[in-house]
């Protein structure tokens, strides 16, 4: 009998005897596999967390008891068990459910999560609020080992240890593998502490502590000197937590016993569960990076599916950056590469392989990455910090205080700028023009295409000051690369097409859609010029004034929020009231998830929609476009 189909809410799950739970976890893995194979999306993390998910919802009285997940990669099973099983067929699709946690989507999503390392702090806040209200519900934070490299996780742990309220942290550690050889001492600890499988081998502890890049090695050295290297819980015990583990994170019945036990205890508790990312699907177990977020694939063969008529796409911006940074570093030994736990996602993996001594992955610690780069710049190096636009927001204070205030030559390369697609509002990089433009001394540039990205990288590296370059996810427009990268003049744009009725001032990946829109307008009798402005800061004031003098109307186009963005910069630079300006960009709201082309069209920023909006704004005579 299939059990998963009988579970609409966790209350249905709790009606089952414990011996049926492994079947539920297995069916859930199969369901997630089948669903993701048809859509693409996050896979390996949800397969690895299936048993923990079942055990948590079985033991705790959700949603009254709060489950606070760190990021959403591991929560497809959580969605399946909380009334969204059928809705998972449209996960991450335009109009469908989110791939992450979203409070507005379900009462079971206690806290929204897209960025990492937030769960412990949020859960502690909920636990303290519970105490203030005199309530008795439990609060559980589920954190992956990767999220523990972020400073906020450490801050939350130390505060929880200080407050000493009832809080359970489940560490889903998928970087250690469970040993079958648990000796007598391990059996003793198992019975005494966790009722589960304890592994206290020194090699395992070394592996565990190595995951915590800033303080793991220090703890390891101290422990070795003190001869007290018994189990990794030493670290958490010192922070005020009662430590339980390591526990086999794929033994769901054992997990139930452990959670039932710790549920009765007081104070902050950490349960260390050892899991395997991609559990239950051999290709995902063997290659966890590829299967973290795969495209469509055949479950039986593990082969990725491609449309038989699909053309080979142009190189991605990430791939172009990856090659360009290696080329620049070949010629300049001062260049140092830095990323925050995303070498492949940012294209820094090639730099890592070519220059291992000049490459630094700081973990999910964007604040540290920025100030670390500032220190390198102080000593004459040229640090290139490659971080997704949305994640660099977490290092904002450090950009302002540690880099720009001191006028240090740090290059920020912001991948995933603009509307990134199915990952949705937590990942859209649509605020960076605004949050960087306001900082004195920052140069903000955006390439129109992948070829211009190469030139901007060279320009930024050779510029003596802080610079940001932002570029989108996915394929470029397909331009053939220039033979040699060249420096661009700072603060200078380029007129791509002349016209007399209106000028579209475009920036970044909206330049080519603006050119297409101009052609649509030309076909309808509107003479439309297009300028690739290249720089949000400093603006090309000469080009701006020239176009304002030649055409009575200006249109700005950007895939950033309008508030404080490129269009705002243009308005600020023009004499008040002398030129009519239409600003096209993103609204003062969070854009939902969906395929990028659908989102750009819905936001009025596709070529066709740009043309419609310009035509509607123009004087009578071009209304046939509406």
Choice among 276, 277, 458, 613 that is catalytic = 277
Residue 285 to residue 76: CA distance in whole angstroms: 17
Contact 247, 255 (CB under 8 A): yes
The CATH number that applies at residue 367 is: 3.40.50.970
CA nearest to 205, candidates 182, 243, 225, 235: 235
**Residue 470 catalytic?**
no
In the chain, the number of structural domains is 3
* 586/467 same-domain check: no
Segment 111-139, tens digit of pLDDT = 998 778 899 999 999 999 999 999 999 99
Sheet with 242-248, side-by-side order of all strands: 66-69, 139-144, 167-173, 268-274, 242-248
* 423/512 same-domain check: no
CB-CB neighbours of 74 under 10 Å: 27
In a domain, 482, yes or no: no
Q: State the residue range of the domain holding 566.
A: 494-625
* 129/235 same-domain check: yes
Instruction: Tokens 């080519």: give the residue.
Output: 512
* 361/269 same-domain check: no
Reading the block at residue 402, the tokens are: 């540690």
Q: Can you give the pLDDT at residue 225?
A: 42
Contact 614, 528 (CB under 8 A): yes
The CATH number that applies at residue 554 is: 3.40.50.920
Report the predicted TM-score, pTM, of the whole model to 2 decimal places.
Answer: 0.85
Q: Which residue positions in the chain have pLDDT lower than 70? A: 175-233, 307-311, 620-626
**Residue 277 catalytic?**
yes
Choice among 84, 276, 394, 454 that is catalytic = 394
* 86/187 same-domain check: yes
Segment 376-425, tens digit of pLDDT = 999 999 999 999 999 999 999 999 999 999 999 999 999 999 999 998 99
Choice among 152, 328, 366, 367 that is catalytic = 366
In a domain, 311, yes or no: no
* 259/329 same-domain check: no
* 542/597 same-domain check: yes
In a domain, 294, yes or no: no
DSSP of 227-291? T--S-THHHHHHTTPEEEEEEETT-HHHHHHHHHHHTT--SEEEEEEE--TTTT-HHHHH-TTTT
Using CA atoms, how far residue 148 sits from 139, 156, 341, 349, in Å, is 18, 10, 12, 22
In a domain, 333, yes or no: yes
């Amino acid at each position: 009998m299939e059990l998963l189909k009988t579970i609409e809410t966790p209350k249905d799950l709790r009606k089952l005897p414990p011996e049926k739970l492994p079947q539920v976890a297995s069916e859930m893995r199969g369901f997630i596999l089948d669903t993701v194979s048809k859509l693409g999306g996050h896979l390996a993390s949800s397969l690895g967390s299936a048993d923990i998910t079942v055990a948590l919802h079985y033991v705790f009285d959700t949603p009254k008891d709060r489950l606070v997940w760190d990021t959403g990669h591991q929560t497809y099973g959580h969605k399946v068990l909380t009334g969204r099983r059928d809705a998972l067929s449209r996960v991450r699709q335009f109009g469908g459910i989110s791939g992450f946690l979203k409070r507005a989507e379900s009462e079971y999503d206690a806290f929204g999560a897209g960025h990492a390392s937030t769960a412990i702090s949020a859960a502690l806040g909920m636990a303290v609020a519970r105490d203030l209200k005199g309530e008795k519900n439990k609060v559980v934070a589920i954190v992956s080992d990767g999220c523990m490299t972020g400073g906020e996780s450490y801050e939350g742990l130390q505060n929880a240890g200080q407050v000493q309220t009832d809080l359970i942290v489940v560490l889903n550690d998928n970087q250690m593998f469970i040993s079958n050889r648990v000796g007598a001492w391990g059996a003793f600890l198992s019975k005494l502490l966790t009722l589960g499988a304890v592994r206290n081998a020194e090699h395992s502890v070394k592996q565990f502590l190595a995951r915590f890049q800033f303080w793991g090695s220090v703890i390891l050295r101290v422990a070795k000197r003190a001869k007290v290297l018994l189990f990794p819980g030493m670290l958490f015990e010192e922070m005020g937590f009662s430590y339980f583990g390591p526990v086999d994170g794929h033994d769901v019945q054992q997990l139930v016993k452990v959670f039932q036990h710790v549920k009765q205890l007081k104070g902050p508790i950490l349960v260390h569960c050892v899991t395997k990312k991609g559990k239950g699907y051999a290709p995902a177990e063997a290659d966890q990076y590829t299967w973290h977020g795969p495209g469509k694939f055949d479950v039986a063969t593990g082969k990725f599916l491609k449309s038989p008529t699909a053309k080979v796409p142009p190189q991605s911006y990430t791939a172009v950056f990856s090659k360009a940074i290696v080329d620049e570093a070949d010629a300049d030994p001062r260049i140092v590469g830095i990323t925050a736990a995303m070498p492949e996602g940012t294209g820094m993996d090639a730099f890592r392989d070519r220059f291992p001594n000049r490459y630094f992955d700081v973990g999910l610690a964007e604040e540290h990455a920025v100030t670390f780069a500032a220190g390198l710049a102080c000593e004459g190096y040229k640090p290139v910090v490659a971080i997704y636009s949305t994640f660099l927001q977490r290092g904002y204070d450090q950009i302002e205080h540690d880099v720009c205030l001191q006028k240090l030559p740090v290059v920020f390369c912001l991948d995933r700028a603009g509307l990134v697609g199915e990952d949705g509002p937590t990942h859209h990089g649509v605020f960076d023009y605004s949050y960087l433009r306001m900082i004195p001394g920052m140069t903000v540039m955006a390439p129109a295409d992948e070829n211009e990205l190469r030139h901007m990288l060279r320009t930024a590296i050779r510029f003596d000051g802080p610079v940001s370059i932002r570029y989108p996810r996915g394929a470029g427009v397909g331009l053939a690369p220039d033979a040699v990268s060249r420096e661009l003049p700072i603060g200078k744009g380029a007129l791509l097409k002349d016209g007399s009725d209106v000028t579209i001032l475009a920036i970044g990946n909206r330049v080519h859609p603006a050119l297409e829109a101009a052609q649509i307008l030309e076909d309808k009798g509107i003479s439309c010029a297009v300028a690739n402005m290249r720089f949000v800061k400093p603006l090309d004031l000469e080009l701006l004034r020239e176009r304002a003098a030649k055409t009575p109307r200006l249109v700005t186009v950007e895939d950033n929020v309008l508030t404080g963005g490129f269009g705002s910069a243009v308005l600020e630079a023009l004499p008040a009231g002398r030129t009519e300006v239409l600003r096209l960009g993103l609204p003062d709201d969070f854009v939902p998830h969906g395929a990028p082309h659908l989102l750009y069209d819905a936001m009025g920023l596709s070529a066709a929609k740009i043309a419609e909006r310009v035509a509607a704004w123009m004087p009578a005579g071009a209304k046939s476009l509406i």
